[in-house]
Amino acid sequence: MTDHTLLDIDAAVEHLHAGHVIAYPTEAVFGLGCDPNNESAVRKLLSLKGRHESAGFVLIASRFSQLLPWIAETKEALVNKAMQTWPGPVTWLFPRADNVPDYVCGDHDTVAVRITAHEASRSLCEAFGSALISSSANHTAARPARSAGEVEDYFGHYLAGILTGALGGANRPCEIRDLVTGTIIRRG
């Protein structure tokens, strides 16, 4: 891994605002992220992963207000249910706002959102001032990267860089739950 690929928060935010895809540590694996409002950046990420647009992405945030543009008006009791698990490693499928593009949500009527407790990811969202696309750092059929070196092996010069920091203590990717039905889509 070369030194120029390691980013501090300020450099990572510059790359995000410029429409680039970066990697960063999360609770269990390294993630790939970009500005969800930048269609070109999201399409780059889809291409890097070999992922079909219909699948959609998770949005991570440092606080609930960063998620509000992405979610439809939701009953307070349901929001409170999600807030009991946040910040933390649970992604909730909220009803999606009408203006959310398909390149973020895929073919779903929901948007996958999480207020992360991971320090580096939280700091990145806070410095960026918005939610970020978050997807495991791997090609669709490969196992997720658990080190900066693995990220470099997978994506090399195709990424703007990798935010420095350590993974959280989780051994598995975050749990995903449907907010309305309570169904667990993926166990954490």
Q: What Rg do the C-alpha atoms of the chain give, in angstroms?
A: 15
79 by Cβ neighbours in 10 Å (0-12 / 13-18 / 19+) ranks as middle
**Which pLDDT score, from 0 to 100, does residue 152 have?**
94
Are the beta carbons of 59 and 114 closer than 8 angstroms? yes
CA distances from 49 to 93, 135, 165, 184 (A): 22, 9, 22, 25
Are the beta carbons of 146 and 109 closer than 8 angstroms? no
Where does 35-109 show beta strands of DSSP type E?
58-61, 90-95
Mean pLDDT, the chain cut into blocks of 10 residues (188 residues total): 77 98 96 98 97 96 98 97 96 97 96 97 97 95 94 93 93 91 91
- Condensed to tens digits (0 to 9), the pLDDT of residues 69-102 reads 999 999 999 999 999 999 999 999 999 999 999 9
Contacting residues for 76 by C-beta, under 8 A, at least 6 apart: none
- Kindly report the CATH number that applies to the domain delimited by 3-186: 3.90.870.10
Helices and strands: H and E segment counts in the chain: 6, 10
Are the beta carbons of 43 and 181 closer than 8 angstroms? no
**Which pLDDT score, from 0 to 100, does residue 174 have?**
87
Cα atoms in the Cβ-side hemisphere of radius 13 Å centred on 148 = 16
